[in-house]
Each structure stands twice: as structure tokens, then as C-alpha cells.
Amino acid sequence: MTVPKKLVLIGNGMAGVRAIEHLLKLAPDTYEITIFGAEPHPNYNRIMLSTVLAGSTELKDIIINDWDWYKENNITLHTNQSIKKIDTQRKVVISESGIEAPYDEVVIATGSKAFMLPIPGADKEGVIAFRDIQDCEKMFSAAKSYKKAAVIGAGLLGLEAARGLLNLGMEVTVIHKHPYIMERQLDEAASLMLRKELETQGMKFLLSKHSASITGRGRVKELQFTDGSHLATDLIVMAVGIRPNVDLAKSSGIDYNNGILVDDFMNTNIPHVSALGECVEHRGVAYGLVAPLYEQGAVLAKRLAGVETAGYAGSVTSTKLKVSGVDVFSAGRFVETEGSRAMRIQDDVAGTYKKIVIRNGKLVGAVLFGDTADGASLFASIKSGESIEGREKELLLGISSDLLGKSGGGASRLENMPDDEIVCGCNGVTKGAIGDAVLNKGCHTFGELKACTKASASCGGCKADIEGLLHFYAGDKVGESAKEGICGCTSLGRDEIVEQIQSMRLMTVKEVMHVLDWNNKEGCSKCRPSLNYYLGMLFPEEYVDEKESRFTNERYHANIQKDGTYSVVPRIYGGVTTPADLIKIASVAEKFNVPLVKFTGGQRLDLFGVKKEDLPKMWEELEMASGHAYGKTLRTVKTCVGNTFCRFGTQDAMAMGIKMEKAFERLNAPAKFKLAVSGCPRNCAEATIKDLGVVAIDGAWEIHVGGNAGVKVRACDLLTTVKTEEEVMEWTSAYLQYYRETGQWNERTAHWIDRVGLDTVKKALEKQEDRLALMERVQKALSVTTDPWKEIVDNDELRKNFEPIAGPLPV
Amino acid sequence: MSKLLIGKLSDIDIRGSRTVRVKETEIALFRLEDGSVLAIENRCPHKGGLLSEGMVCGTVVHCPLHDWKVDLQSGLVKDPDDGCVMTFDTEIDPEDGAIYVTI
């Protein structure tokens, strides 16, 4: 065994510890880790400090890694220890109190310091920053004995501090040198709306004011401005910005400018000394948002783990914030300049505002106020640099232009519907029950109605009718629906979640739920499997699949039946079998007394009524791969006999089908998907109602997509026609991967294509380079899959879960 | 009422479950993230689904058949459905991790 190398992390904050967590996953035993933190706390979520100040959470709620985490990972933690110097010659880190820690690798993650205005009196008692827990504590104690507070700086941090001080019962005045607040994140209109909202909450503002000096004997008494005016105050919070903390670089001979200078791999100019987070400057930029810091951490962790990685190339950032309960969002160049045009809607009644800025037919910036639901999609559009010509109104209004100007029409139908008619077929909810819930149980939003009656809670197909009935019964009383997220645990939609996971490189379901502030921290049976899928899709090689976040069927690799027994479907590639396999299946069925053997709709044999404890034993005897008849993955590739025997066949459909099934088996997807290959246009394999169907014509293959024969039949759309088998594989790979990357969890391709549009799919796959890139990604995802049946058969730890516990003993 | 030795903590995966039959009753044992073990009757009051096969979120198990939510501590079904299942007291020996259930 090799001796672990010594890794020292200076700074116990979000960026550094996050990188360590990542490193532990990639290379668990490579380093002996020591962490120095200047504060007396374990790693906490600095972003959430404002909620501590606002009183809605306590310190313990914002701890990210508790003391046990350090212990469990054998990390030596020194709290209350600032580092004085790194002796890069002797490779030793020296703390203020004299602790010396030798290192093989050292990482500087000392973050940033609050910038204090260098004005006379800034050192008086009662003048503080808003940066750490100690600052929060000072504000708490000031609020107990004093009345008046002033906050200098009306950026995000300043406004959060002001809001917190209001909550503590102080009179708060915010001073800002600009004529409007949060000018770095908002345009003038949105800024004004925010100011009005904050003023109604009790905040006072002094704008275009420059602070000159602070007076008072010992403690602050007055703040003087350059125009000669002044403000009486007992507490001053300076929130005028942060500066990278470069003290250590200064004392240790490491190059710095505004921040510690690093290359794309987080190396400083000294070997074995890396840096990341708010203390660094990368390609001239010092970041103060968490997402870029996490991206840097991922690169550093990989480098330290010896895993090959592309360098960090900088981040494009957007700002999505909640300021005193108001959602604001901005991205890109949101202030109009020459050559750009803007479109905006402002609704002072609802308190919403939206502006998009267009230049050369492309979206270059956006500001949202009050309702930020469209933020993620607008940001994606800005980053992609795609042309939005012809879709400008759609983007602004958030509605497809086809729907604009169309009237409802369904109202009278709903009105005439008898009370006992079932509106939601899945849960048997009648029109009368909806009426009762609205009129007598106080349900005034779609969400409340859904929670109360279960209407639209399963397949969601009746959503439009339920919403129609809500309006019919409630009329003007219809409440503003809380924005619907992927489930009741969050208000975030699929795209927002995926984007955040990606940019912050969140690595577990739990972490996503915490960082994205789930209102139900345990999640539910909807979001947990969704997140598990998205994480696996985004990080196929690093993410560790969580079987606890999968449904029964996917945990036991068989379909649970209503009586608690399971069904077993072995893989029969392309539906083509052999006498030997048939004999094997038959004898296993007999041996285990399988009560029903049936051919499935997808040309497979299904053995029903199997006891859970018999599953691994059957798999062991079958020695066949799992048919995955239970998962959100490739189910079957159905084939016709093709030109092998059929006189009409034009191509070898069976071989093509088998090739496809072997290529894509075990591939996780948003939902199950079924393929088929027909050898001629007579289409005996019914390929045109599959998620992807291939139909051979003389000398070519047609590729059809988005079909479904389920609840509502949807015939496929023709995607393309190609000449060779290789091209069939290329297009199929690209199509499946594009679906994997853009589909919502549990969304079949038929719904997906209707949602994103066939043209979007065609466009995404039109260039060969794009297809090959998608193909490479799907290959990566496939390369890490293994046959689950075999895995369980060979592993007693997994196998035990199929058996009841041996037996109770009286005590 | 009798106290039975059912097995040891390591028999159940964290966030996993195992079953045990005591005479006529099948009991589902769940090991939660905090290390505790909770025991309920393994039968959803809705259509008899095996709760041991459901997904556990916090202290709630989702029935695999129709997603009814049953609280493992109280045995009560969560809104908007209602009903309840039997719960059984559990004890874990901190020394050897033995699990005891009182029936």
C-alpha cells in the first residue's frame, strides 16, 4: 500500500470543502487531509447567513458539513486558526498560534473580505460588515440595545442585511451612491419596483449619497455625507463589496493581483500550491457567486485525484435572487445600448416586470422581477447564442404564438357537464367533487385542488379541465397558483434544476435538495427518482446511483404485481430466440412453479407470479441478461423477420434490431422507451408507433420517432431516411441522447416531441458533428452500465434484500 | 405482548427495509437515515400493497402500488387519503446492534 500524501486546505468554507468532498469521492484514500478554518464553526452555508439574520433559520440549519463529517472522513480540522504563512521551501503551513502542518499539496481557499470604506471613523464601535456568523451576532446584540441602523450599499448583501435588521425591530436606512438600487443586477424599471416594495416593508432609502465620515464618541453616533447632510444612527453595516483575501499570498511569495493568480487548473505560480474560490483571480476575473466556485472545485479535485480533466474556462453567470421575498433575475447585457432593442412588459398590479434585450436577432440579456419562472430558459437561450427571430413575442410573453388570440371555448362544455361525470380518470374524481372542494373546502389554486382531491395528481392528462373547472367555480377568487415545480417539494422546474446541478456540480440527491432549498428536505417519490436520473445523466462516470431513490421495480429488477409477487422477463435480443434458450426458460418456469407464462406485446416471454425470494435463484439458473421490462430504460426492440425469410423483406430487420438492442440495453432514460425494426413498409413490427422505429425500404432505412401506442395513440414522425446501418446507429444514438438530455423525468418521447417540437429535434440532429458528439456522450453513459441480475446474483449483500429476515426469537 | 429478537442492524441497508413474519402478521422493518428502525404492518390499507417495497422519504413510506403515503412513526396515512396501519415498538441494542420488536 502506498503512503497517503498530505493535503492541507486553508479555509474551511464552501469552495474549499466542496472541492475536498469531490476529491474524496474520486480518490478516497489518496490523501491525509488537514483543514484550517479561521472561524470556530464547521463548514456552513454563507449564502444562508441572511436567513439566520432574518430569524427564519438557526446556525445549525445552515451547517453543510457537521463535525461528524470531518471525523468520518479522517480529516484533521483546526478551527479558530488563521494561517500566517506558507513556507513553500520547506512545504509547511504555519498558523498564527504556531501550529505547523507539512504538506505535499496545499490549497488556499481563504475567500474574501468585506471591503470597509476608508473614511474617518470607520474603526468606531458599531461599524461592522456582513460577512460571517460573528457579524450576525453583533447585529443581534445591537438590536437589543439600539434603535437606528444604517446600511451602506444597496446591493444584494446590503439589502439582505437591511431586511434582517428590520426583522430585529430596528429602523433601517439604506444608503447608496447610485441613483437606483442593485444597479449591477437590475435595470432602472425593475430597480424602482424593488425599491417601492422594500419601502412598503419599512426600509428607508437615501440615494445618490456618498459617505464622508462617521462621528461619535467611542460608538458611532452619526454618518456624515459629502453634501453636508447627516444621519443619526447607532449601527452601521458596510456592504459595499468584497475583496479577494490575498494576505497569505502576500506573506508567502505567491503571485497575486486583485486575487491570487491561478491558471485553468487552479495552480498558482508555486508548485504544489493551488487556490480556488473567492480569493482567486482567473483570467482576470474574481468570482463571488457559488456556481463558479463549485466549477473550480470540480477541476481542482479531479487534478488532485489524478483524473483527466479539461481546464476551468471561466463561467457565464446569471443572477437569480430572492430579495425580501421578491424574486428577481437578470442575465447577460440587460441594459440597452446602441444597436440593441428591448421588449418589456410591466404589470404594476401583479408586481411583475420582464425585459428582454435583443441584438442581431439574438437574445443577449434579460431582467425578470416578481416572476422568475422563465429565467432558466432565457439564460439558456443567451448562452447558446441561437437566433430568436420570429420568436421574440413568444419569449417575452412566455406563450407560444399559436395560442395567442385563441379563445378558451371549453367553458360551456364544462358548465354543461353533469356533476357525476368523472373528470380525472386515474383517481376517479368527479366534477361534483371539484365543485365541493372549491366551494366548501376553500381550494382556490390548482395546487390546492390537486392536493385536496388528487385530481390531476397521476397522469396529469386532465389538467386543462381541472383548471377550467377551478375558474368556473371560483371565478375571481382563483388564487395565484404557486409556480409549479417538478413536484410539491420545490418550485423549481426541470430545466432550472438541471442547470443548477450542472453549474454547481451537485453530486447527490440530498445535496440537490439542500442547496436548491427544497421545502420538503426529504423529497418525495416524484422528485427523488427524477433527481437520481438527472444526476446520472449529467455525470455518468462520477455519479453513484442511489437505489433508495428508485422505484420498487428498479430496485428489485422485476415488475411488482398487485399481489406483491414479481414477473421475470429475460432479455431476448430482437425477439429472436433459440430452442436451447426456450428449453432453459421452460425448465426454470417449471422448477419454480411459475403460475403464468405469457408472451408480451414486445415479443418477450414473461414469467408471472414469482416470489421475491425466488428472483435471484431464477436469474442464477436462467443465466440470461435482464430484459429490463421494469425500468425507465430500453424495453424491447421488436422486429419482423425481414429479408432473411420474408419474400417482401428488403433488409435484414432482425440483425438490425439485435444490433440496436445490444447497443442500447440498460441505458437509463427519462422514461421507458421501445424500439422496433420492420423489414419493409408493410411494417409488421409496428415500428411507427414506437419511441423510435426503423422501417426498411429498398436500399435505405427510414427512422421514425415519437410514437406511442399507450393511453393516446400517437403515430411517429419521420425523422430522416438514411442509407447504411452505421447511419441508423448514429441517428438512433444521437436521438436517444438528445432525449436523455432534454426530456423531463417520466416524460415519454411522444410527449417530449410534442413539447419541444419536431423541428427542434431535427435541428439538433441535423449536423453530423452534433450527432457524433451526442453519440459519444451516449456511449459514455452506456460504458458504465452492468447487468443488474448478474450483479445481484454474485453479491450476498445485495441478495439478502430479497429474503425475509431469518426469524423472530422470543426474548 | 412479547418482545422478539428479530435480527441485527446490519441486516437492513440504510434507507432500506426487510420483512419478517410473526404468525399471521407480516412486519416491515425500515432502517432510517438517522439509524433508527421502525416497524409497521406490511400492508397498505388501500389495496394491500407491500409497504416494505416502497420508497422511504424521511419517516414516510410511499406504497409501491398507488403512492399512498404512510407515516412510519404513527402508522397514519397522509392526506389526502386516510387510513392507518399497525405500528410496533422497536428497540436497538447499542452494544451489538440487535433489533427487538414488541408484538
Q: Which value does ipTM take for this structure?
A: 0.90
User: Rounded to a whole number, what is the distance in Å from the CA of A562 to chain B's nearest CA?
Assistant: 7
Please count the residues of chain B: 103
H/E element, A392? helix A392-397
Count of beta carbons in the 10 Å neighbourhood of residue A158: 23
Q: Nearest by CB to A552, from B19, B54, B59: name it.
A: B54
Q: Tell me the chain B residues in contact with residue A523 when contact means C-beta distances shorter than 8 Å.
A: 57
Helix H or strand E encompassing A720: strand A717-722
How do residues A740-770 score in pLDDT, each as one tens digit?
A: 999 999 999 999 999 999 999 999 999 999 9
Residues of A in contact with B58 (CB under 8 A): 520-522
Q: What is the structure's pLDDT at A573?
A: 96
Q: Which of A452, A525, A544 to mutate to test the interface with B (most CBs of B within 10 A)?
A: A525
Instruction: Output the nine-digit C-alpha cell for A52.
Output: 439566520
Please give the grid coordinates belonging to residue A685: 413490427
Alpha carbons B35 and B54: distance in angstroms, whole number:
18
C-alpha cell at B70: 404512510
**A:B CB pairs within 8 Å:** 86
Q: Do B18 and A805 touch (CB under 8 A)?
A: yes
**CA dist A748 → A90, A532, B82 (Å):** 60, 17, 32
The sheet with strand A318-323 has its strands ordered as: A318-323, A326-332, A362-369, A352-359, A340-347
Chain B residues touching chain A at CB-CB below 8 Å: 2-7, 11, 13, 15-16, 18-22, 29, 47-50, 53-60, 62, 64-65, 67, 79-81, 100-101
Q: Are the beta carbons of A499 and A376 closer than 8 angstroms? A: yes
Q: Angle A14-26/A290-305 helices, nearest 10 degrees? A: 40
Interface contact flag, A805 B6, Cβ < 8 Å? yes
Using DSSP, state whether A13 is helix, strand or coil: coil
Count of H helices and E strands in chain A? 27, 37
Within chain A, which residues score under 70 in pLDDT? 1-2, 56, 316-317, 320, 322, 398-413, 426, 457-461, 479-484, 810-811
C-alpha cell at A269: 505560480
Beta bridge mates, A676 = A638, A693
- Asked whether the beta carbons of A151 and A157 are under 8 A apart, the reply is no
Q: pLDDT tens digits, residue range A448-504?
A: 788 778 787 666 667 778 888 888 887 777 766 555 688 888 888 899 899 889 888
Give bridge partners of residue A215 from the DSSP assignment. Answer: A222
SS3 A258: coil
pLDDT (mean) for B32-55: 90
Closest listed residue to residue A298, CA positions, set A587, A539, A98: A539
* Chain B CB contacts of A520 below 8 Å: 57-58
d(CA A66, CA A508): 17
Q: Do B20 and A524 touch (CB under 8 A)?
A: no
Spatial separation of the C-alpha atoms in residues A523 and A508, rounded to whole Å: 13
Sign of CA dihedral A578, A580, A584, A586: positive
Q: A104 Cβ partners below 8 Å, 6+ apart?
A: A5, A6, A7, A91, A272
Residues of chain B in contact with residue A528, where contact means CB-CB under 8 angstroms, are 55, 57
CA A603 from chain centre, in angstroms, equals 37
The answer to whether A279 and A260 are in contact (CB under 8 A) is: yes
Min Cα distance A165 → chain B (Å) is: 34
Q: Please answer whether residues A355 and A367 qualify as being in contact, where contact means their C-beta atoms are separated by less than 8 angstroms.
A: yes
Alpha-carbon distances of A720 from A650, A706, A731, A761, A778, rounded to whole Å? 18, 13, 9, 11, 20
How close B4 gets to chain A, by Cα (Å)? 4
Give the separation between CA A299 and CA A4, rounded to whole angstroms: 21
Are A330 and A185 in contact by the 8 Å Cβ rule? The answer is yes
What are the E-state strand segments in A168-295? Answer: 171-175, 204-206, 211-215, 222-225, 230-232, 235-238, 242-244, 260-262, 273-275, 280-282
C-alpha to C-alpha distance for A151 and A172, rounded to whole angstroms: 7
For cell 361525470, name the residue. A421
Cβ under 8 Å to B: A residues 546-565: 548-552, 555-556, 560, 562-564
Whole-angstrom Cα distance, residue A746 to residue A742? 12
Q: Give Dmax over CA atoms of chain A in angstroms.
A: 103
Contact B57 A451 (CB under 8 A): no
DSSP state of A801: G
Collect all residues of chain B within an 8 Å Cβ-Cβ radius of residue A545: none
Tell me how far apart the alpha carbons of residues A528 and A550 are, in angstroms, rounded to a whole number: 8
A521 close contact with B: CB closer than 8 A: yes
Give the minimum alpha-carbon distance from A517 to chain B in angstroms, rounded to a whole number.
Answer: 16
3-state secondary structure of A236: strand
Is the peptide bond preceding residue B80 cis, with omega within 30 degrees of 0?
yes
**Closest residue of chain B to A563, computed from CA coordinates:** B49
**Cα(A445)–Cα(A457) distance, rounded to whole angstroms?**
14
Sequence-distant contacts of A583-587: CB under 8 A, at least 24 apart:
A584/A621, A584/A622, A584/A623, A584/A624, A585/A622, A585/A624
Query: Least CB-CB distance to B53: which of A454, A560, A809?
Result: A560
Q: How far is CA A144 from CA A124, A235, B27, in A?
A: 19, 12, 54
Strand ranges of the sheet holding A222-225, from the earlier edge strand across to the other edge: A211-215, A222-225, A230-232
pLDDT at A410: 47
Q: How near does any CA of chain B get to the CA of A427, in Å? A: 10
B chain contacts of residue A551, beta-carbon cutoff 8 Å: 55, 64
Contacts of A800 in chain B (CB under 8 A): 11, 18
- Quote the minimal CA–CA distance from A458 to chain B in Å: 9
pLDDT exceeds cutoff 60 at B18 = yes
Rounded to the nearest 10 degrees, what angle do helices A375-384 and A494-504 cross at?
60
Rounded Cα distance between A47 and A643, Å, is 64
* DSSP string for residues in A610-677: E-GGGHHHHHHHH---B--TTSSBEEEEEE--GGGT-SS--S-HHHHHHHHHHHHTT-B-SS-EEEEE
List all residues 6 or more positions away from A527 whose beta carbon is below 8 Å from its beta carbon: A486, A487, A489, A490, A513, A518
Angle between helices A768-783 and A758-765 (to 10 degrees): 90
Q: Which residues of A touch B78 (CB under 8 A)?
A: none
* CA separation for the pair A580, A587 (Å, rounded): 11
Determine phi and psi for A35, rounding to 5 degrees: -120, 135
Q: Exposed/middle/buried for A399, CB within 10 Å: 0-12, 13-18, 19+?
A: exposed
End-to-end CA distance of chain B: 5
DSSP at A714: B
Reading the block at residue A389, the C-alpha cell is 427571430
Which tens digits make up the pLDDT trace of A219-271? Answer: 999 999 999 999 999 999 999 988 999 999 999 999 999 999 999 999 999 99
Cα torsion A72, A78, A84, A85: sign? negative
CA distances from A457 to A8, A430, A521, A713 (A): 51, 14, 21, 22
Q: Is B30 in contact with B59 (CB distance < 8 Å)?
A: no
Give residue A364's region: left, alpha or beta (phi > 0; psi -120 to 50): alpha
pLDDT band with cut points at 50, 70 and 90 for residue B103: confident
Q: Compute the distance between CA of residue A180 and CA of residue A326 in angstroms, rounded to an integer.
A: 17
pLDDT reported for residue B72: 93
DSSP helix, strand, coil percent of chain B (3-state; round to 5): 5, 45, 50
Please state, as a whole number, how many other Cβ atoms lie within 10 Å of the Cβ of residue A477: 12
